[in-house]
Amino acid sequence: MKIAVVGPSPVPYVYGGAEGLMWKLTESINRLTSHQAEMIKLPSREHSFWDLIDSYHQFYCLDLSHFDLIISTKYPSWMVRHPNHTVYMIHHLRGLFDTYSFCNQPEMVPQSMSLGLVGEILDTLRKDNPTERDVDEVFDGLERLRKDEKSSSKGLFNFPGPFIREIVHFFDSYALSPHRIKRYASISDNLKRRADYFPAGVQVVTAYPPSKIEDFLCRSYDYLFTASRLDGPKRIHLLVEAMRYVPHDIKLKIAGTGPEENKLRALASTDDRIEFLGFVNDESLVDYYSNALAVLYVPYDEDYGLITIEAMMSRKPVITANDSGGTLEFVEEGYTGCVAEPDPKKIAEKINRLVENPQEAKRMGDRARKNVKDITWEGVLARLLGEGSTSLHHRAKVLVLSTYSCYPPRGGGQHRLYNLYSRLAKVFDVTICSITEMNKISEDLILKNGLVQISIPQSKEHAEAQWRIEREVGINLYDVCMIDLVEKSKKYVEKVKELAEGSDIVVFSHPYLYGLRRYIGEGKVVVYEAHNVEYLLKKDYVKGSDYVQKIKDIEQEACSKSDLVFATSEEESETLAELYGSHQGKIVVVPNGVDTSAMCFLSREDRIEQKKQIGIKEPTILFVGSWHPPNLEALTFITHDLAKKLPGNLFLVVGSIREYYLQKNKMFPKNVLAFGVVDEEEKYELYKLADLAINPMFSGSGTNIKMLDYLSAGIPVVSTPVGARGIDIESRTHALVCSPEQFQESILELAGDLELQARLSENGRRLVEERYSWERIAKIVEEKLQEVMFS
């Protein structure tokens, strides 16, 4: 079908919940069904009596007969005439319906005003079951009245007022009558229950819309938060006043703008715990939700309250009021949040309860998430289009098994897991189930686009057995020991069995957990994701132990028995096929990538300014590395060779490689500044200080994500051929690629040639945008998984 999603475009334009819903509804029809949809919006004014009449009239005259179905959303869009018309009601003009009583205006036009032409119009307005002919008569009468407006009774055109109220009720009664509408839907039960919103006796389905945001997170529980338009019906003043009765040192962060902002700021001026954030974009909104202890939302009789859904998707309890309307369909006292009387003291009691019992708040948030997790666009479309009239695409369930968590992403493997699978979570239901080291902090999280991370620590028995082996061999064998020891972590194994049963696709990220393949039932697509050729990467590292052969055997099994194998480069693909006899047709090149939207490109001038602000005068050379034998080898070359030959340069070393280097070498040279592990924002700030970046790798497998980071940030790079492996880099076009013996000479050449620096920076950025963005790479994987599932 060809479907039109119809709604008003406010004048002056503002982007609110209705606008987001219409856009996302249209996008979801196109993405999730076999139908085609277009959003049709008409500029609609409603600042005066005649503005509103004109808005109703333009929708009444709109011809959408070239569509098979129209879905109208909000007054006055349902005036459109079409034989196949579904109403998905966002709301009526509340000021002329359920909140009209607050205007202190009569409901009906007084008799003294009901004379002549006005009386004729009112007679038509008060007919039962209005017809199209009646509507035409009203529009004609109103046009004649407009021409002679000056002779009309004073107050007749009040807005709001009784005359416009009767007109709008008449139009809506006609527009929503059962002989015009095939299907009725509402965004909430609260909306559905309101008087005069729907014709008596019609069947109305509730289709709760999800947020247009898809990437909710849950990180910590640090403050109170609300996001709302700052106007009267949202009752933000109750929250500000409630803070007077909260004795705890906890902040209330308020996002949003609106007509009451100055008044609210004045009200909160004596409490420095209250912070007004102003307009907050979607990315920042996700962050604010993710770190909140609780979300406060106490509007009066809200239609739906999308903030409630967004808070609960972020695993946060919601404190609301017992007259807040739509929010009460989700907030259950003491279970998913708290319900208070709309009184500052009563609200403060609920706040204090959660501040004093953060574990209770966390449990409420977990239950809240379960309460709203099934609110999806698939569900909305099934209700609007009918279960049998649309072919919704099945969202396959993908389970990824890993020996480390993906968030926060710090090492290269974590970046791959997080960036690849969070993007695939737009199309699939993706869960990463990680077994983590017993002595490391890990947590279950809902990440970008609904990606689920489950982290289960290894058992004590498992860890102790690993430590005994490591003492014998003298090296870290955490991941490698999984080959023999993972079964000792019974909690993890049981969770894998449970998740695998409901999954369509199971991905083994690295080969070390492939022994759990025995628990994956028939009919599943099994994928081995080879971050490297592990045997070649580790054989020298574990030499002298039984694990050399064990790594080769488990990698052989993963390559031969999986339905698909992901390799990070063509070279890796060929090596895996050669080593293990794997049919190259099932090996798919899925390169490492970079988030080009997060990695800002900085010019040389920008870097100079950044260094000036910090007070760094020396030329700076950047190296990034997590703990990994090839990185340790590279860092040793930097400290023992390059740092001595280039004493006037400051080397910036970032990553966990710092700690492992210090275990063996005690201290760094004076011109090497090592930062250790940093978060993403700190890493990006350090990138701004780098004149050059280097990647002097001598060994290793796979591709180096750090190379893509450098190129994306526009940092000119010097690398060995091994460091540039797997990436389509041309020396002197995208980077300088040279032997270790030529490294000092190449660094000096690049440092002295500004034209070469600019060329490498621009070409490097262009390369990653065109070939190595995670969005592009995720699309490759999506298409291949769909192909294998339905072949």
Whether 584 and 448 map to the same domain: the answer is yes
Is 790 inside a domain boundary?
Answer: no
Is 560 inside a domain boundary?
Answer: yes
Q: Evaluate whether 40 touches 64 at the Cβ level (below 8 Å).
A: yes
Whether 171 and 305 map to the same domain: the answer is no
- Residue keyed to tokens 């008449």: 170
Whether 500 and 542 map to the same domain: the answer is yes
Asked whether residue 689 carries a pLDDT value surpassing 80, the answer given is yes
CA distance 784 to 339: 48
Is 783 inside a domain boundary?
Answer: no
Q: Evaluate whether 421 touches 402 at the Cβ level (below 8 Å).
A: no
Mean pLDDT, the chain, whole residue set: 92
- How many angstroms separate the first and last alpha carbons of the chain? 27
Whether 402 and 536 map to the same domain: the answer is yes
pLDDT digits (tens, 9 = 90+) for 744-784: 999 999 999 999 999 999 999 999 988 898 989 999 999 99
Q: Which domain holds residue 732?
A: 604-772
Whether 675 and 622 map to the same domain: the answer is yes
Whether 415 and 454 map to the same domain: the answer is yes
| Confidence tier at 791 by pLDDT (50, 70, 90) | low
pLDDT digits (tens, 9 = 90+) for 535-580: 998 998 888 888 999 999 999 999 999 999 999 988 999 999 999 9
DSSP states along 457-507:
EPPHHHHHHHHHHHHHH-S--TTTTHHHHGGG-HHHHHHHHHHHHT-SEEE
The predicted pLDDT at position 59 comes to 98
Report, as an integer, the average pLDDT of 472-490.
94
Share of the chain above pLDDT 70, in %: 98
Is 384 inside a domain boundary?
Answer: no
Asked whether residue 95 carries a pLDDT value surpassing 60, the answer given is yes
Whether 71 and 101 map to the same domain: the answer is yes
Report, as an integer, the average pLDDT of 73-77.
96
Chosen domain end from 171, 206, 241: 206
For residue 275, give the CATH number of its domain.
Answer: 3.40.50.2000
Amino acid at the residue 686: L
Asked whether residue 394 carries a pLDDT value surpassing 70, the answer given is no
The predicted pLDDT at position 584 comes to 66
Is 596 inside a domain boundary?
Answer: no
Whether 539 and 617 map to the same domain: the answer is no
Asked whether residue 387 carries a pLDDT value surpassing 50, the answer given is yes
Is 115 inside a domain boundary?
Answer: yes
Whether 258 and 187 map to the same domain: the answer is no
Whether 10 and 146 map to the same domain: the answer is yes
Encode burial over 298-313: b for 16+ CB neighbours within 10 A, e otherwise.
Answer: bbbbbbbbbbbbbbbb
The predicted pLDDT at position 769 comes to 87
Whether 412 and 515 map to the same domain: the answer is yes
CA distance 246 to 597: 40
Is 389 inside a domain boundary?
Answer: no
Q: Evaluate whether 623 touches 654 at the Cβ level (below 8 Å).
A: yes
Amino acid at the residue 641: D
| Confidence tier at 388 by pLDDT (50, 70, 90) | very low
**How many domains are there within the chain?**
4
Is 378 inside a domain boundary?
Answer: no
Closest CA to 23 of 42, 44, 43, 37: 37
pLDDT digits (tens, 9 = 90+) for 398-414: 999 999 999 888 778 89
Looking at residue 644, the DSSP 8-state letter turns out to be: H
Q: Evaluate whether 548 touches 542 at the Cβ level (below 8 Å).
A: yes
Whether 616 and 764 map to the same domain: the answer is yes
pLDDT digits (tens, 9 = 90+) for 488-529: 999 999 999 999 998 999 999 999 999 999 999 888 999 999
Asked whether residue 702 carries a pLDDT value surpassing 80, the answer given is no
